[in-house]
A and B are shown apart, each in its own frame.
Chain A
Amino acid sequence: MTEGAFSADTMFILVVLGMTAVTYALRAGGYWVMGKVPITPRVRRGLEALPGAIIVSTILPIILQGGLAVGLCLIVAAAAQIRLKKEYIAVFCAAAVAAGLRATGL
């Protein structure tokens, strides 16, 4: 451990506090707003559609960036989930395929 491991720069603490505040505002903000909005059937359907839409929007750029190998791993994960319905098996299969593909240099 180096000298001053438990010291912190004042400006850096301000950065951390700013990042924390912004992130918490976003974490709590969406929840807070939906408490003010009347939850009509349309709003409820939108909220129900959000999870899937968020996952698709999160995964797709990862595939576009990671290329064929990553895309293949995620297809393996989804296929394993459809057949076996166990998340941990799906994750294990995907990681194993990724490690295998990288070992062969893909």
Chain B
Amino acid sequence: MLEKNVTLSLKGCTHGALMCVPVLPGIIALGAVFGTVAAQKGLTFLETVLMNSLVFAGASQFVAMEIYSAPLSWGTLIAMVGVTGAVNMRMLLIGASLRPWLGQVPSYQTYPALFFLTDLNWLLTLSEYDKGTRDWGVYLGSGVFVWSIWSLSVVPGYFAGSLISDPKTFGLDVVLPAFFAALLVPLWKGKRQTVSWLVAGGVAAVTWAIVGGYWSIFTGAVAGALAGAYLDD
């Protein structure tokens, strides 16, 4: 079941970028806080920028910095790369769910574009797909735009961290989760979603209570998808 009429246009890219505007304060705050944390941990400016722009996965960067200590040993290296894998495990699922849409786009375009895959542009892309959009510029535009903002936001945080020492005061820490909650609303169609979400939520909560951390995203999502797959109409 591949889409046969997927297109790519500048208009789609612009549309995708504009859709990210409501969450910009959240992204900028998070990027700036990462800059501050990196500066406090003693990273050089170049090291901070390299990690932030190449890894481009907020939560895993923070967790890796928790483990970081200079001078680096091979053990620390393996631990940092390992937690990055654990925290970003959900990307496997996110990427998988894009296959029905992007599967028809040539590989030489999709594989470089997958570097820009985040929860945010994935979710925007799927909600647009739901509305009938077949211009994958929505994915590419939002991805490149968020990456650019993310890459820049680390700079003020690195040099003037105390400006936004506590994003919580302004409610900036709830911006991204609130955006997700808002985008969840139109995904609800009926019984299949109710069951799948309850299963996902239950498994995620239990996983969180037992092991904590980020595994709950992976286990909950897999359980919810299986429930959705095996619930026959």
Determine if B200 and A52 form an interchain contact, defined as CB atoms under 8 angstroms apart. yes
Task: Name which residue of chain A comes closest to B110, CB basis.
Answer: A31
**Is the C-beta of B71 less than 8 angstroms from some C-beta in chain A?**
yes
Give bound CA distance, A14 to B192, whole Å. 45
Contacts of A62 in B (CB 8 A): 177
Q: Which of A31, A47, A90, A103 contacts B114 (CB 8 A)?
A: A31
Determine if B92 and A56 form an interchain contact, defined as CB atoms under 8 angstroms apart. no
Interface range on chain B: under 10, 10 to 19, 20 to 34, or 35 or more? 35 or more
User: Secondary structure of the A side of the interface?
Assistant: helix
Give bound CA distance, A76 to B179, whole Å. 11
Number of residue pairs A-B, CB distance < 8 angstroms = 314
B55 CB, nearest partner CB in chain A, Å: 5
Q: Which of B96, B184, B193, B226 contacts A30 (CB 8 A)?
A: B96
Determine if A95 and B25 form an interchain contact, defined as CB atoms under 8 angstroms apart. yes
Give bound CA distance, A22 to B77, whole Å. 13
Contacts of B64 in A (CB 8 A): 15, 19
**Is the C-beta of B8 less than 8 angstroms from some C-beta in chain A?**
no
User: Secondary structure of the B side of the interface?
Assistant: helix
Give bound CA distance, A55 to B225, whole Å. 12
Give bound CA distance, A2 to B98, whole Å. 44
Contacts of B168 in A (CB 8 A): 98, 102
Contacts of B47 in A (CB 8 A): 8-9, 12-13, 16
In A44-91, the 8 Å CB interface with B consists of: 44-62, 64, 66, 70, 73-78, 80-82, 85, 87-88, 90-91
Task: Name which residue of chain B comes closest to A24, CB basis.
Answer: B115
Instruction: Given contact pairs A52-B187, A53-B200, A57-B203, enumerate 19 new A-B contacts (beta carbons under 8 Å).
Output: A6-B45, A8-B50, A12-B72, A15-B81, A18-B84, A34-B96, A39-B99, A46-B229, A50-B225, A52-B188, A53-B220, A55-B187, A57-B219, A64-B205, A70-B177, A77-B174, A80-B182, A81-B183, A87-B183
Query: Hey, which bits of chain A sit against chain B, CB under 8 A?
Result: 1-2, 4-9, 11-20, 22-24, 26-35, 39, 42-62, 64, 66, 70, 73-78, 80-82, 85, 87-88, 90-100, 102-103
